[in-house]
């Protein structure tokens, strides 16, 4: 049987074909058969680093020591480089702003549940350390997820949470306790290999005690094992590896770029400082018979250890490559520009020049935005957010729409964390008798976390477009409100009802959007009559023409135009049923 036939037989039956050598013994290797790849990416051509043929799970790509180095690196770039810190803050602005929606269908129950959760979200009731309320902690947790890769919070019986930064979930320096099987531990996570690597526990280590005098105790020693049901791990899974048990920072893909820009700017500023202090260079042309400056023909006594020889002295610098004494030149000119303009009387042949630095160069100025733009892509942030002058309105809108698509997945990760806490906290409240839900409802049924909307970029155009979409049945007022503001649609409806009641008590007509069809028709007829009267006068029939111009538009846009024009007429009697 040929090599190809053997391979086909293996694929068909699933049973390896036993191969025999010339003496009838099985051999491990196949007969001469070579696979040829059709993908150029797998073929090393010597022009770049060859791809590795070693395929590993993502946790092995970032082993524990490398993971610690990665966390330190990304924290450092956030701490010291303003552009990276800004990019992280913009990411947090767009993915961590949520609003709680309680939806039992019973307004009384809704108010009680909302009041209970708002109380639980306060820092003294939410954080065991009493430092951070829910929404502030949510923003901080997402920051740790982006910078460190992941973070967890431990659920306490008191209904509070304790935040566990990702670097504390690990194998201790001093090793694992004897009752923990090291073969089941991966980056501090105890997994069940019979359930696809499901996490069943987390190894928590404690840091050395920090105080104003330094550190006391050992760092990262074993503290305890937290069962998986007690700890929620908020992690970044953007790499899309299903075998991955710990999150990895998306900033790692841009770390070298951020670091290069950071150091490049530092070097450019250093050159700028050199030019700013008016550094002076003096060049001399000595005649052949002159001795070098400071040379007397004698070697000075040895300089005591730890001291620098004075200028103008000769020291014994002889060695195998450069025998003979070495001269320490003596400075002949000393100029202090801090004292004001200076007159320099130079010897013949001496020349003084100011050191100039053309920094930053034109090449650097054009290349730096490209590099920064590449780094910002690690968080999908458009470059025009960093420098607004590089885009027009349509381009900026397209960039924003594209980012909104990428932000949906990021928001869903944060939303999952908020849902986990809310469901758990409601259950604790039910068990402790603090809150009751409507009959037949579970904690997961009574709430939702909704991302806050983004304000309109061009309010006038977008409001008119939304009005037309609502009238055309393409969307609803609730969707428009929640997509473009921080408000809740039902809250706005309640406020509108309250506003109408206040106007009615004061004898004021309702606004156009609240008018009935009969009221709108009466207003149109009145405006047309006024327009006919104005035609007989010298003044232009502004209102009548305006009314005619708005006909044919959507009903809502037409009503808004009427509101502006009919307000001037003040025929209040025409606005009553």
In this predicted structure, the answer to whether residue 377 has a pLDDT above a threshold of 80 is yes
Distance CA 66, CA 75 (A): 14
Structure tokens at 46: 């010597």
At residue 313, the 3 state secondary structure works out as: coil
Listed in sequence order, the residues at least 6 apart from 161 whose beta carbon sits closer than 8 Å to its beta carbon are: 126, 127, 128, 137, 153, 154, 155, 421
pLDDT (0 to 100) of residue 561: 47
Residue 274 confidence (pLDDT): 67
Q: Which residue has the tokens 């206040």?
A: 502
- 419/439 Cα distance (integer angstroms): 21
Quick one: CA dihedral 102, 105, 110, 111, positive or negative? positive
DSSP assignment of 561-572 = HHHHHHTTT--G
For residue 201, whether the previous peptide bond is cis, meaning omega lies within 30 degrees of 0, is no
- Residue 351's alpha-carbon distances to 280, 286, 293, in angstroms, are 10, 12, 16
Among 305-309, 494-498, 528-532, where is mean pLDDT lowest? 305-309
Q: Taking 50 as the threshold, does the pLDDT of residue 161 lie above it? A: yes
Give the whole-angstrom CA distance, residue 477 versus residue 164. 41
395-447 confidence digits (pLDDT tens): 888 888 889 889 998 999 999 999 999 999 999 999 999 999 999 899 999 99
pLDDT over threshold 70, residue 391: yes
User: What DSSP designation does 169 have?
Assistant: B
**Helices 64-80 & 82-95, crossing angle to 10 degrees?**
100
Q: 514 pLDDT band (50/70/90 cuts)?
A: confident
H or E element at residue 113: helix 107-120
Return the beta strands (E) in 103-174 as ranges.
150-155, 161-165
Choice between 22 and 147, residue whose per-residue pLDDT is larger:
147
pLDDT of residue 251: 94
pLDDT of residue 344: 63
Nearest one of 230, 224, 231 to 246, comparing CA atoms:
231
Higher pLDDT, residue 270 or 508: 508
Least confident of 234-248, 452-466, 546-560: 546-560
Q: In the numeric block, which tokens belong to residue 81? A: 């480089």
Run of H or E residues at 529: helix 517-535
Mean pLDDT value of segment 34-41: 66
Q: Say what percent of the chain tops pLDDT 90.
A: 34
CA distance 435 to 114: 11
- pLDDT greater than 60 at residue 30: no
| Cβ atoms 441, 447 nearer than 8 A | no
Pairwise CA distance, residues 95 & 88, whole Å = 11
8-state DSSP, 20: B
Scan for tokens 């155009």, then name that residue.
Answer: 461
pLDDT band at 541 (very low <50, low <70, confident <90, very high): very low
Is 262 in contact with 372 (CB distance < 8 Å)? no
| H or E element that contains 327 | strand 326-327
Q: pLDDT at residue 272 above 90?
A: no
How much is the pLDDT for 93? 93
Q: Tell me which of 33-47, 252-266, 422-436 is least confident.
A: 33-47
> What is the pLDDT confidence band of residue 566, given thresholds at 50, 70 and 90?
very low
CB atoms within 10 A of CB 77: 22
The larger pLDDT score, comparing residue 569 to residue 172, is at 172
Domain-by-domain residue ranges, the chain? 3-37, 62-80+121-252, 282-354, 459-575
Q: Distance between CA atoms of 247 and 239, rounded to whole angstroms?
A: 9
Closest CA to 441 of 101, 105, 99, 100: 105
| 371 burial type by CB count under 10 A (0-12 exposed, 13-18 middle, 19+ buried) | middle
**194 or 139, which is more confident:** 139
Query: Which of the four pLDDT bands, split at 50, 70 and 90, describes residue 388?
Result: confident
**What is the per-residue pLDDT for 544?**
45
Q: Has residue 390 got a pLDDT over 50?
A: yes
Provide mean pLDDT across the span 368-386.
91
Q: Which residue has the higher pLDDT, 526 or 7?
A: 526
Cβ atoms 190, 225 nearer than 8 A? yes
Among 247-256, 453-462, 507-516, which range has the highest average pLDDT?
Answer: 247-256
Query: Would you state the pLDDT for residue 49?
Result: 74
Is the pLDDT at 539 greater than 80? The verdict is: no
Q: Kindly report, residue by residue over 45-100, the tens digit of the pLDDT.
A: 777 777 777 888 888 889 998 999 999 999 999 999 999 999 999 999 999 999 99
The half-sphere exposure of 143 on its side-chain side, counting CA atoms within 13 A, is 18
pLDDT digits (tens, 9 = 90+) for 200-252: 999 999 887 777 777 776 778 899 999 999 999 999 998 888 989 999 999 99
| Lowest mean per-residue pLDDT among 111-115, 134-138, 204-208, 492-496 | 492-496
Q: Residues of 238-249 as b/e, b for ≥16 C-beta within 10 angstroms?
A: beeeeebbbbbb
**pLDDT given at position 421:** 97
Dihedral Cα 63, 67, 70, 74, nearest 10 deg: 150
- Computed over every residue of the chain, the mean pLDDT equals 78
How far apart CA 181 and CA 190 sit, in angstroms, is 9
**The pLDDT of residue 276 is above 60:** yes
In contact, 281 and 355? CB cutoff 8 Å: yes
CB atoms within 10 A of CB 503: 14
CA 439 distance to own-chain centroid: 42
CA trace torsion 282, 287, 289, 293 (10° rounding): 0
* pLDDT greater at residue 119 or residue 279: 119
Q: Which residues pair with 189 in a beta bridge?
A: 186, 202
Report the pLDDT averaged over residues 556-569: 48
Residues 263 and 150: their CA atoms lie apart, in Å, by 28
Tell me the pLDDT band of 301, cut-offs 50, 70 and 90. low
CA 236 vs. chain centroid, Å, equals 11
Name the H helices within 121-254. 123-126, 134-147
The pLDDT assigned to 547 comes to 42
- Can you give the pLDDT at residue 55? 83
Q: List all residues 6 or more positions away from 332 whose beta carbon is below 8 Å from its beta carbon.
A: 282, 293, 347, 350
The number of beta carbons lying within 10 Å of the beta carbon of residue 205 is 21
pLDDT at 495 over 50: yes
Beta strands 209-211 and 198-206 are unpaired
Q: How far apart are CA 243 and CA 322, in angstroms?
A: 63
Distances (CA, A) of 300 to 295, 316, 322, 330: 10, 8, 18, 14
Ranking 284-293, 396-405, 465-474, 497-506 by mean pLDDT, the lowest is 284-293
Q: What is the pLDDT of residue 188?
A: 92
- Asked whether residue 571 carries a pLDDT value surpassing 50, the answer given is no
Report the C-alpha gap between 178 and 389 in whole angstroms.
Answer: 62
The pTM score is: 0.70
Q: What tokens were used for 238?
A: 């953007």
- Say how far apart CA 265 and CA 263 lie, in whole Å: 5
In angstroms, how far is CA 319 from the centroid of its own chain?
A: 58
């Amino acid at each position: 049987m040929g090599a190809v036939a053997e391979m086909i037989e293996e694929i068909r039956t699933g049973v390896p074909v036993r191969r025999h050598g010339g003496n009838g013994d099985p051999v491990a290797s196949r007969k001469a058969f070579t696979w040829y790849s059709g993908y150029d990416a797998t073929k090393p051509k010597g022009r770049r680093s060859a791809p590795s043929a070693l395929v590993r799970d993502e946790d092995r790509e970032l082993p524990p020591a490398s993971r610690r180095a990665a966390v330190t690196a990304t924290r450092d770039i956030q701490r010291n480089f303003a552009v990276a810190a800004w990019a992280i803050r913009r990411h947090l602005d767009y993915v961590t702003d949520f609003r709680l929606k309680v939806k039992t269908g019973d307004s009384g129950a809704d108010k009680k549940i909302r009041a209970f959760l708002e109380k639980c979200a306060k820092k003294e009731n939410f954080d065991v350390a009493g430092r951070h309320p829910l929404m502030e902690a949510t923003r901080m947790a997402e920051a740790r997820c982006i910078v460190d890769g992941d973070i967890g919070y431990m659920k306490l019986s008191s209904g509070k949470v304790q935040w566990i930064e990702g670097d504390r979930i690990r194998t201790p320096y001093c090793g694992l306790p004897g009752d923990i099987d090291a073969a089941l531990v991966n980056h501090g996570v105890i997994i069940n290999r019979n359930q696809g690597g499901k996490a069943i526990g987390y190894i928590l280590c404690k840091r050395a005690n920090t105080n104003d005098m330094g550190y006391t105790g050992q760092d990262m020693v074993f503290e305890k094992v937290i069962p998986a049901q007690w700890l929620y791990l908020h992690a970044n899974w953007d790499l899309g590896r299903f075998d991955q048990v710990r999150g990895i920072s998306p900033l790692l893909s841009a770390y070298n770029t951020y670091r290069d820009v950071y150091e490049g700017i530092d070097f450019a500023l250093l050159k700028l400082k050199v030019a700013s202090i008016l550094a002076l260079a003096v060049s001399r042309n000595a005649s052949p018979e002159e001795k070098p400056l400071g040379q007397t023909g004698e070697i000075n006594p040895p300089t005591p250890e730890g001291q620098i020889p004075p200028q103008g002295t000769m020291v014994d610098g002889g060695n195998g490559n450069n025998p003979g004494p070495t001269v320490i030149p003596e400075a002949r000119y000393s100029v202090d520009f801090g004292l004001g303009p200076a007159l320099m009387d130079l010897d013949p042949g001496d020349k003084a020049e100011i050191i100039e630095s053309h920094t930053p160069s034109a090449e650097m100025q054009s290349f730096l935005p490209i590099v920064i733009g590449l780094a910002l892509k690690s968080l999908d942030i458009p470059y025009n957010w960093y420098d607004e002058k590089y885009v027009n309105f349509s381009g900026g809108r397209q960039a924003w729409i594209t980012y909104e698509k990428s932000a949906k997945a990021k928001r869903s990760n944060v939303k999952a964390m908020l849902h986990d806490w809310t469901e758990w906290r409601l259950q604790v409240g039910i068990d402790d008798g603090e809150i009751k839900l409507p009959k037949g409802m579970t904690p997961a049924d009574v709430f939702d976390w909704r991302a806050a909307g983004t304000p309109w970029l061009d309010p006038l155009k977008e409001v008119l477009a939304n009005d037309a979409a609502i009238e055309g049945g393409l969307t609803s007022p609730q969707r428009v409100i929640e997509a473009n503001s921080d408000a809740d649609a039902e809250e706005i409806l309640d406020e509108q009802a309250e506003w109408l009641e206040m106007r009615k008590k004061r004898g004021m007509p309702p606004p156009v959007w609240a008018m009935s069809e009969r009221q709108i028709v009466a207003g149109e007829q009145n405006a047309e009559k006024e327009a006919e009267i104005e035609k007989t006068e010298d003044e232009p029939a502004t209102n009548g023409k305006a009314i005619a111009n708005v006909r044919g538009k959507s009903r809502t846009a037409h009503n808004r135009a009427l509101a502006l024009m009919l307000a001037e007429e003040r025929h209040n009697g025409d606005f009553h049923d």
